[in-house]
Chains A and B, each alone.
Chain A
Amino acid sequence: AQKVTQAQTEISVVEKEDVTLDCVYETRDTTYYLFWYKQPPSGELVFLIRRNSFDEQNEISGRYSWNFQKSTSSFNFTITASQVVDSAVYFCALSEGESSGDKLTFGTGTRLAVRP
């Protein structure tokens, strides 16, 4: 069965610090998809990134970057020069695609607080 572990429940940093949110996943499938979602205090879920299992290239989008390593089953998320607006709960999620009816299995989330 698929599983996603976000061991960091809460992280607090001061503005401009870099912060990395960890995500470790388990799956028996060779084809799968990994996602990160952001949930700001307003409560909606905002899609950040998707990675498929065949694409291990790291990705950078502005201050955000993602490090996908199949060897350690990890898909970590780094925010560089954090800002107060980054304060949110971040969820990592896994989909095994067709074998599971596209169900997303979520981690328990990491609450990030960025202090001014």
Chain B
Amino acid sequence: EAQVTQNPRYLITVTGKKLTVTCSQNMNHEYMSWYRQDPGLGLRQIYYSMNVEVTDKGDVPEGYKVSRKEKRNFPLILESPSPNQTSLYFCATQGQVGSPLHFGNGTRLTVT
């Protein structure tokens, strides 16, 4: 079954404590991306990756890092989380250009 797996589903942390949200896909897709969802703002792209070792900034990259060392994994790293990064995060993959994104189930992050 085609899957995008994010972990954890829920995370509560404190300001400044580094964290990583993992994302893994089994569809052999080259394109992966991260979005954050905030009330009244919809979903906004944080980072994306067109292939292994190729990453680029989206619309709201500040405070985030990503890496793409292998095709199936695309972790999102918050080196020093702050309360304004409290949000619902989605990882997504895509096959061909213009095809629908496949989303993970989301990670709800709270930074106190």
A in complex with B: yes
Chain A contact residues, CB within 8 Å of chain B: 4, 6, 9, 33, 35, 43-45, 47, 50, 52, 91, 93, 95, 97-98, 101-104, 106-109
Contact (A104, B103) CB under 8 Å given A43-B88, A95-B98 = no
C-alpha gap A47/B90 in the complex (Å)? 14
Q: Are A33 and B58 in contact (CB-based, < 8 A)?
A: no
Q: Give the residue among A9, A33, A101 with the most B Cβ atoms within 10 A.
A: A101
Q: Are A102 and B43 in contact (CB-based, < 8 A)?
A: no
Nearest 3 CB-CB pairs, A to B? Answer: A106-B42, A45-B103, A108-B42
Q: Are A45 and B90 in contact (CB-based, < 8 A)?
A: yes
Q: How far is the CB of B5 from chain A (nearest CB, A)?
A: 12
**What is the 8 Å Cβ interface bit string for chain B, positions 70-112, against chain A (1 contact, 0 not)?**
0000000000000000001010101001111111011010000
B residues in contact with A97, CB < 8 Å:
97-98
Residue B62 lies at the interface, judged by CB distance under 8 Å to chain A: no
Q: Are A47 and B40 in contact (CB-based, < 8 A)?
A: no
Contact (A101, B50) CB under 8 Å given A43-B88, A107-B42 = yes
B residues in contact with A43, CB < 8 Å:
88, 105-106, 108
